[in-house]
Structures are given as C-alpha cells and as structure tokens.
Amino acid sequence: MTPQRKATIISSTVAALLTLMKLVVGIASGSVAVLASAVDSILDMFVSLFNYFAILNSEKPADKTFNYGRGKIEALALVIEGTIITLSGLYLLYEAIKKALTGGESQYLGISIYVMIASLVITVCLVMYLNYVAKKTRSMVIEADALHYKTDMLSNIAVLLSLAVVGYTGVELVDVLIGAGIAFYIIYSAFELIKKGVLVLLDRALDDELVLEIEKVIVATDRVNGFHLLKTREAAHQTFVDVHVVFDHLITLVEAHKVSHKIEAKIKRLDQGRSWIINIHMDPYDDYWVNDMPKKNRPTE
C-alpha cells in the first residue's frame, strides 16, 4: 500500500472518531460551535474516503484509453472536495443564524470543553502526519487533506474559546459569532482548494522560477542553438515538460539524441522529488517562424 492511500485511511478513521465524539456532545449541549465542528468532521470522513479512491485510480498506469495516465483525478477530487466543504460551511452558517434568531442555550459545557481539547490534540497529530506524507509524495490530494485538517485544528481552537467564554459569561452570542466565523473560514479554505484543482485541470504551467531554471538548463547545454515551444504542466505527482530544442544542422541524430538525454537528466536534477516526464523534439534548425508560430502572429514579408 502506498503512503498516500495509507494516509487517507488513517485520516478517514480519525475523522470518524472525531465525528462520533463531537456529534454526541454537540447535539447534547446545543452548542452551534461544537455542532459546526461535528458536521465538518462528518464531511472530513467522507472526503478522506473519496480521496482514497481518487488516489487509487490516479496511481493506475497509463493504458490505451488513458495514454497519459489518470493523474488529473486528484485535481478533480480537489474540486469536488472544495465544493462539499463549501456546502458544509453554508450549513454551519445557517445553524449559527438559526440559533441567533431562536435564542438557544448551550449546555454540558464542561464535557464539551474536554471533548474539544481531545479533538484538538488528535487533529494536531494528524496534520503533522499528513504534512509529512504530502511533502514526501507531492500528492495534491494529501496536501489538500492536510490543509483541510489544519482548518479543523484552527476551528477547534475557536470552539474551545467559544465554550470557555460562554461558560464564563453566559453570553450565547459569542457561540453564534464564533460558529459563523468558522463557517466563513471553511468557505474561504474551500475556495482555495477549488482554485488549485481547476488550475491543474486547465494545465497551468509550472511556477515561473522553475520554468526559468529549465530554460537555463537547455541553453547552457553544448551543441544546443536554442529552443521554442516550451510547455509545462502538472498532474498528480507527475510533471510534464515538452520542448523543441534546436541543434546545429551538422549534428548527427545519434549525437542529438545523446544531448537530449543530458538535458533530461539536468532538468530532473532541478527537483528530484518530482516524477518528470520530458519530451524533447529535436530540430536541425529553428523552424518556429515557419511551422509553429500561429499564422496571425507571423511577420509579413
């Protein structure tokens, strides 16, 4: 079992445990903040399970149907996960407004505080583990899961503050305001997940700094006269690079092929934590103006 799949199983199990703890206490106490955290944990559990199947499919090798593999399933998972989280945030906001209008009161504050402290400790440990796996595997899904549970960690702190203030002052409005604040924060975090997933689905290029490093590698290689049509993108843990490299027209195909391998090796050394898929088209001269430049951009004679 890969570290990514193992991480999603662990996060799903932890989310199920937190859901049970918070849901029982949230319903019994009537605290919107605790109930908000419980609902978020329910969604965490389903999202982590969904992530497991997303990773399972994204790891399948390329075949005749999916020539480039299924790596974008992870990006699609981010979009779906972000949408679900947004809906949960809207529901929590509804619960906060409902309590403000109906004037409900919180009960069992003591046990609620103990449950939230335990939840906070468990969540902190889970975030540390997920961050470790995300850094090691470069999985977008695990990175998103870590970010999601990090927001849970912050919301747990907010809930603890809410329970403490309500218990000390008896002002229920604090619970409503903190519950609403958590809802808005959840929606904001979901937007970032959706944005990242959509950009990957649209084949956004690598960061400018890394693209510049790739360009430097190409032009600094012996026997290379230039390059054009450099394209980059990411899908799951894979990084794709396509480029037309211009050689001296007197170079043999065998020599050009050897130089291309050197370029590939140098690019891969820029970030050895990535899984690079590099495709180099070898040109005997710069044919960009003739064959590759869009007709509308070609200079007139």
For 258-298, the pLDDT digits (tens) are: 999 999 999 999 988 788 999 999 998 877 666 655 555 55
- Of the residues 141, 175, 201, which one is the last residue of a structural domain? 201
Residue 231 above 80 pLDDT? Answer: yes
Residue 33 dihedral angles phi and psi, to the nearest 5°: -65, -45
Confidence band, pLDDT 50/70/90 cuts, at residue 91: confident
Position with higher pLDDT, 298 vs 237: 237
Residue type, 21: M
Residue 58 above 90 pLDDT? Answer: no
Neighbouring-strand partners of residue 238:
235, 275
Whether 44 and 189 share a structural domain: yes
Quick count: other Cβ atoms within 10 Å of Cβ 233?
18
Whether 195 and 224 share a structural domain: no
Q: Which residues contact 217 (CB under 8 A, 6 or more apart)?
A: 263, 266, 267, 270
Residue 300 above 60 pLDDT? Answer: no
36 closest CA partner among 18, 51, 53, 52: 18
- Of the residues 147, 168, 201, which one is the last residue of a structural domain? 201
| Whole-angstrom distance, CA of residue 219 vs CA of residue 227 | 8
- Asked if residues 126 and 222 have their Cβ atoms less than 8 Å apart, the reply is no
Whether 217 and 197 share a structural domain: no
Residue 299 above 60 pLDDT? Answer: no
Distances (CA, A) of 273 to 58, 179, 197, 234: 18, 40, 21, 13
Whether 60 and 25 share a structural domain: yes
Whether 110 and 134 share a structural domain: yes
Whether 105 and 50 share a structural domain: yes
Q: Which pLDDT score is estimated for 36?
A: 67
Mean pLDDT value across residues 232-248: 89
Q: Exposed/middle/buried for 288, CB within 10 Å: 0-12, 13-18, 19+?
A: middle
- Of the residues 173, 201, 229, which one is the last residue of a structural domain? 201
Q: How many residues does the chain have?
A: 301
Lowest-pLDDT choice from 30-39, 249-258, 259-268: 30-39
Per-residue model confidence as pLDDT tens digits over 137-186:
877 778 777 877 877 777 777 777 777 777 777 676 777 787 788 778 87
Whether 38 and 182 share a structural domain: yes
Q: Which pLDDT score is estimated for 240?
A: 93
Structural domain total, the chain: 2
Whether 190 and 215 share a structural domain: no
Q: What pTM value is reported for the model?
A: 0.69
Q: Which residues contact 17 (CB under 8 A, 6 or more apart)?
A: 122
Whether 144 and 213 share a structural domain: no
Position with higher pLDDT, 126 vs 29: 126
Q: Which pLDDT score is estimated for 297?
A: 57
Whether 273 and 241 share a structural domain: yes
> What is the domain-level CATH number for residue 225?
3.30.70.1350
Residue 205 above 90 pLDDT? Answer: yes
Confidence band, pLDDT 50/70/90 cuts, at residue 29: low
> What is the domain-level CATH number for residue 126?
1.20.1510.10
Position with higher pLDDT, 110 vs 256: 256
Residue 47 above 60 pLDDT? Answer: yes
Boundaries of domain holding 193: 3-201
Whether 58 and 150 share a structural domain: yes
Whether 218 and 287 share a structural domain: yes
